[in-house]
Structure 1
Amino acid sequence: MVKPDPDDNAGRGFAKWCRITRAPFLTATLVPVLFGAAVAHHLGYGISLPWLALTLISAAFLHIGTNTLNDYFDHRSGADAANEDYIAPFTGGSRTIQNGLISARAMLTVSVVSFILGGVIAIPLLFRAGMPVLYLGAVGIASGVFYTAPPLRFAGRKGLGELLIGLNLGPLMVAGSVLIQTGTLEWSALLAGIPV
């Protein structure tokens, strides 16, 4: 195990949890959800701030669940421990298990709780916009879980992991946000989400 860096300020409190959850990367959820609301407005629908807030909170918890599960399975597979040479903000995970900030078991617990919270918060969204919310959510959760979880481990399949990230944080999340605002699945939202 890698010893904690004595100069690391992220060992306690809020900073620790930001590092464990990879909170700075939650902007990758914030942007497509807000963009989806803007697309809905452009299509002539009003923006419901309460529904937007629920969408953001649910999506953030699902993203945290994905991030922490990714760290857990990368730890279990030995991928993070093996990566000692190329550690940067966009590769190598949070390194919080390797640096002793959280145990692997606690990381798995954080992931499961985050997925549960994201799902429970999404229940009103399901009543608002119907079964398409469930379908989009199921695709997002399944691809998030199996990004690094066996047996599929999409991240290790030559570009498939990157493709899933692009689809989830682009067209699917934008379309989901539009769906929550409008109550209908707008196919133009899928196209609008491609550059996101």
Structure 2
Amino acid sequence: MSNDRHTARVNRAGMFIVGLILLAAGAAALARGLGLRVLGPRHDQVVSQQVAAYAAGHAWFWPALAVLALVVELLALRWFLLQGRLDTLRYLNLEPDPGHGATHLSARATVSALEDDVEESMRGTRATGRGQRVRATLGGAPADPHLALAVVLPDEADPAAARQGVQRAVARLRRSLETERLPAIVRMHTIRTHL
């Protein structure tokens, strides 16, 4: 199992556990608000006498607790938003040996060039037509990227010709990156352009 998959599995398990805790806490608060006996009698104090006395004697206690809760909430929100982030790269690492320096290539520029190359390689064949769209993303690690390519073709396009155009464009990308290994997932869809 790769490190990325392990991290994703740990994050999913963490989100599941946090979700269960929050669900239980919300259900308990709702039940208590409705007058059901959950977590003690209905009119019990939420905090102990000692905590209430300490908070009454120190004016900074409740604001400090509010700031702490806000910081925890913001960190949790950031973590949650990172879980939904796509596995996309910002740059490719073209120098395999860090002792020789670092050469980075913008992933956005790379996929933009690939999208243009795929469209150009299919132009002039029966694979092209109105409604054609190409979308590429690079994911994985900067030193070991993988490619995801989505091609939308009009219904009159020739899928075999489109596939050959995509294969030629991906082969040119591998040569330009000077790599033998660039795993690629290509999804081709057709859309109706004629009624």
What range is the shorter-chain TM-score in? Answer: under 0.3
| Higher share of residues assigned helix | 1
| Higher share of residues assigned strand | 2
In the superposition, the TM-score normalised over structure 1's length comes to 0.26
Q: Which has the larger radius of gyration?
A: 2
